[in-house]
Structure formats: structure tokens, C-alpha cells
Structure 1
Amino acid sequence: MCLPRVCFRKMGKGGHSNPPNQASADTGKGKNQSNRVAHGYSLVKGAANHPLEDFHVAEYRSVGNHELGLFAIFDGHLGDSVPAYLQNHLFNNILNEPGFFKDPVNAIKKAYSSTDQMILDKAAVLGPGGSTAVTAILIDVKHLLVANIGDSRAVLSRAGTAVQLSVDHEPGKPSERASIQNKGGFVLNMPGDVPRVDGQLAVARAFGDKNLKEHLSADPDIKVEPIDLSTEFLILASDGLWKVVQNQEAVDLVRKIRDPKAAAKRLTDEALTRKSKDDISCIVVRFR
């Protein structure tokens, strides 16, 4: 898939950037210039005694004669500096990769890697924390490229059927455990707890986390999905939603809600009703 050189002019009423220490709850919506795509988002702070560590991107950009939709959820840990950095830099890094125009999948992989290195190099400023990520790039409302590291998730509704486009990178999975162990790390599952890298982190892949980086990966899984008449909407959300709501449940809950902002809020409200204690962030992208 070849694309022309990037122009960074934003399009439509895309979502805004949330600064560090953002409000405990945030909602909004927007649409692209052709009115063929509309999105809404909802972010809610969890029970932990720290600022909201979930950040998002929801915006549109022109790329020559092409139209891009850029959507992401970044779920931070040990602070909000890394997800805030990703919010401001990751998509620019992806689109500035020279290979993006001929091979977007390879460009995304390179940009994830280079961005992770930038974060590690800035650890003295950004701190020791890290972040998961799930990103979606919509090209001309024809192709969707979803990439992720960690356990934030992308779920597509096709004619009412939930299709998971991302991969949950959990330390307890055999492939992830083997990767961690091959790098000299270990996975510890304390009684009553989830498997953790070196007994600390509950995801096997993440940006940042300098103290664990030797045993962590920042390599994304990437899925390219066509957009056709059966494609109804996309849900991007942090694990604050997915810990308590199954993929098909999420699709069923919001399939009949036409307003994507209302749909995103419906999902975060449901997670709260089900006693989710984590930060909860959600974007719903509806195709028309």
C-alpha cells in the first residue's frame, strides 16, 4: 500500500490532546471531513490515588489526496509521563517513517521501536514508568491498520460479530513467557495475583519501563483489516474495560447506539457498574 508524503494538517473535529494530570473524567466526539466516519471517547479515572494515567488520540489528517483517521489508547503505569509522550509523538513518528508510504506495517514496527528508544533515552525526565498502546490508522475509510503492545485492545464489529484485532500480551502466555525467559527474566504468579514480568509488571510488552526493559518487548502485533459494508464500528479501550466486559458483550451493548460519544460513555459506565477499579478509557469509531 503506497501513500504520498504526509501533510500534517488536521481535518474535521478530531479529538483534543489531554495534558498530564487531566480531569478525572473526559468525553468528546468528532467526525472526518467527508462525514463517513464519526468517533466518540470517554475516559474515567480509576480508584487508585494518582492522576488518570490513560491518554488518547482521536483526530483526522490530510495526506496528499488521502484522508487518515488516527486513534489510540495509551494506558500508563508508574506515572503519566510516558503515555503523555506517546500521545504527542507516536503518530508523528509513524507517519514520518520514510517506509510508511510503501510498507506501512514495517514503518509502524520501526516507529514503535524508535519511539521506545526515545522514551528510554529520556528516562531521567519521563521517569521509570511505561505504557501499553493500541493504535489504529484508518486510510481513506478503506483500510484499517491496528497495532498494539500490552493489553489495551481493539475490537471490530462486523455485522454484529465481535472481531478482536489486537493481541493481549500477557506474561503468562507460553510465547510471551518464553520470550521473557530467553532474555534472562522470569514470570512470577503470586497466589491470588496475575503473572508478572520479574514479579512486577502484568504485561509482557510495553513502552518505557527502563528498569525492566531487558526483559520486555516493544514489538507490536499488527493487523490490516479492510473496511467494507459489514464493518460497523471499532472499539479501542484500555484493560479497565476489558477486565470486566467481554468482546461480544461490548459490541452488543453499543451496536444500536448511533452516537459514538454516547456509545463510548455507555461502555465506561458499564465497566464502572461492574466494579472496574482501573482507569477506563474507550474510543468508539463508527463507519457510515
Structure 2
Amino acid sequence: MDRLCCFSSSHSQYGGHSSGSGKGRNNDGIIKYGFSLVKGKANHPMEDYHVAKFVQIQGHELGLFAIYDGHLGDNVPAYLQKHLFSNILKEEEFWVDPNRSISKAYERTDQAILSHSSDLGRGGSTAVTAILLNGRRLLVANVGDSRAVLSRAGQAVQMSIDHEPNNERGSIENKGGFVSNMPGDVPRVNGQLAVSRAFGDKSLKSHLRSDPDIQDVYVDNSTDVLILASDGLWKVMENQEVVNMARRTKDPLKAAKQLTAEALKRDSKDDISCVVVRLRG
């Protein structure tokens, strides 16, 4: 595999907030992205991490985008930021069967996290990843409730599946776990975790899944914007209004900042992280 080489990007960070932008190219011109991460109101350090970059590998251009939303600490999302995409691209069959390579890399990365739990701790992380291959093919994978949404002809198309405990109750119960539904609270696996799939979480892993759902689509002239965000955004905003806001603003960095600011304005308590990729001018 060739050495990873990034295209232009910029980044700033201050007071729990970070933002940045960059661009790549396809046959039709330039693809631009921007990201904005804002620390939530909870009394713990920022637990969201992101990836947003273009790399050149073996004559192909890959856009790599991700949101990792940690819980019980930031060690696991930090590990994912460093290792998950490299693990995917190390799979020998990636160029032949990228879907299988993504699934295998997700599982192998989770096993590595669990084997290093003495260093990484007992926490975990959700993940939503997007690989844009030569500006034409889009591969989105996720575990947990961070979400990817695509704009197709201006309509919001959800590209990931929110892995909520009630939706996968059968799988959890078959493994000896249970789903709590306490008044005033969200459903939780064994009364603890509000997602049914995640990386890490060694104490719950026997009742959790870490295999991703994958969407594989081709990008055409009707697809103009891709948004990846943590649940701090999706808890307070609908898919279509997020797409509408992102499409109104040509600068994806400005759009990402507007989206995180709007989520804060709507009193989202969680960390709020957003990557906006403008696929068309």
C-alpha cells in the first residue's frame, strides 16, 4: 500500500471546540468538506472524535470521513480515530470487496480494543464511517447511533441505521442480556448503554454487537451533500432540516458550524460533532 498523503486541510481548536476544512478532487471538479465539534454540557472531557481527509492510495483518491462518539471516557474513540481506517485499508481484498473488508476491519478493531482494555479502560464508542472512492462510490458503515445522511435531489436519505436497544432486543436477550425501559429514560442494554452495538464496552460485550451495517451507493449528479454527525445533533434536529441547512450554505465549514450552533441553540446536552461534505458545487 502506498503511503497515505493528505490533500489541503486546515484545523483550529479552542475551549473544547474544533473546526476545519479541506478538499479533494474528482472528474467533475473539487469536493470540499468542513467539520465542527463542540463539547457538550456534561461534566466530562470531550468524548467525540472525527476524521475528515483525502488520501491517495495506489492511484485512487479516497475521501475518509468519520464521527466516533465515546462513552465512559475518550480512549476508545481516540483509538478508532487512529486505527479504524488504516485497518480497513490494510485488508488485502479492499479493492475487490470493500464491504467485506469494512466488516472484517470493524470486528478486528473491536477485538483489538477489548484486548487492550487494561490500557483503554472500560468505555466504548459508536462509529459512523464514510469512504468516498474516486468521488464516485460511497461506502457508509456504522455501529451505534451516530448517523450519516445523504442529500439526493434535495431529499434526505439516511445512510446508516440507529442501533437502539429496543430494535435489537431479540439479539440482546438471546445472549442473556436485557433491555430496560425506565420511565423518563431511554432504553438501555442491561440498564446501562443506550445503544445495542458499539466498540469496546468489555463488561457488556457478551450482550452487544460490533458488526456494522453497510450502505454502498454510487454518487451521481443528484447527490450533492453528505452529513455525518453524532447523536448530539440528531437528538434535536430532523434529517431533512439538517440537509436543508447544509445545502443552503455553499461553504461546508460554515454549514458544519451552523449545524452545531443550531443544536446548541436547541439545548442539546451531548457533545455535538458534524462533518459536511459537499459533493457538488
**TM-score above 0.5, yes or no:** yes
Counterpart AA for 1:202: A
In structure 2, the residue matched to 1:181 is 173
> Contact (CA 8 Å) 1:16, 1:57: kept in 2 or not?
no
Match of 1:3 in 2: none
1:34-45 maps to which residues of 2 (within 5 A)?
36-45=30-39
- Could you tell me whether the CA contact under 8 Å between 1:55 and 1:73 is conserved in 2? yes
**For the Cα contact (< 8 Å) 2:233–2:260, is it kept in 1?**
yes
Residue type of the alignment partner of 1:135: T
Secondary structure, aligned partner of 2:49: strand
Deviation at 1:63, TM superposition (A): 1.6
Q: Which runs of 5+ in 1 are unaligned?
A: 1-5
Q: Percent identity?
A: 63
Alignment match, 2:6: 11
Conservation of the 8 A alpha-carbon contact between 1:195 and 1:202: yes
- Distance in 1 (CA, whole Å) between partners of 2:208 and 2:15 is 31
Q: SS at 1:99's partner residue?
A: coil
Deviations 1:208-233 (A, max 9, x none): 00000000000000000111000111
Distance change in 2, residues 1:278/1:116 (3 Å): same
Question: Retained in 2: the 8 A contact 1:15–1:29?
Answer: yes
Matched, 1:146 2:117: no
Match of 1:211 among 199, 203, 219: 203
1:64 aligns to 2:41 (yes or no): no
For 2:136, the aligned partner's letter is: K
- Counterparts of residues 184-199 of structure 1 (less than 5 Å): 184-199=176-191
Q: AA paired with 1:58?
A: A
TM-score (norm 1): 0.94
Give the secondary structure class of the aligned counterpart of 2:135.
coil
Q: Does the CA contact (< 8 Å) of 2:113 and 2:200 recur in 1?
A: yes
Asked if 1:159 is matched to 2:172, the reply is no
Q: State the distance in 2 between where 1:275 and 1:76 align.
A: 20
Match of 1:235 among 227, 233, 241: 227
- Tell me the CA shift for residue 9 of structure 1: 2.4
Listed one character per residue, the Cα deviations across residues 191-219 of structure 1 (whole Å, up to 9, x for unaligned) are 11010000000000000000000000000
Equivalent in the alignment of 1:246: 238
Residue number in structure 2 paired with 1:283: 275
Aligned-residue offset at 1:17: 11
CA distance in 1: counterparts of 2:157 and 2:150, whole angstroms: 5
- DSSP 3-state at the match of 1:202: coil
The root-mean-square deviation of aligned C-alpha atoms, in Å, is 1.4
Deviation at 1:256, TM superposition (A): 1.5
Superposed displacement of residue 64, structure 1? 1.3
Change (3 A) 1:179 1:163: same
Give the C-alpha shift of residue 265 in structure 1.
0.6
* Count of residues paired in the alignment: 278
Distance in 2 separating the partners of 1:221 and 1:16: 30
Residue in 1 aligned with 2:264?
Answer: 272
Amino acid at match of 1:73: I
Cα-to-partner distance string for 1:36-86 (whole Å, 9 max, x where unaligned): 210000000001111110000001111211100000000000000000000
CA shift digits 1:213-264 (9 cap, x unpaired) = 0000000000001110001110000000000000001011221100000000
Which residue of the partner structure matches residue 170 of structure 1? Answer: 164
With structure 2 as the length reference, what TM-score do the two structures score?
Answer: 0.96
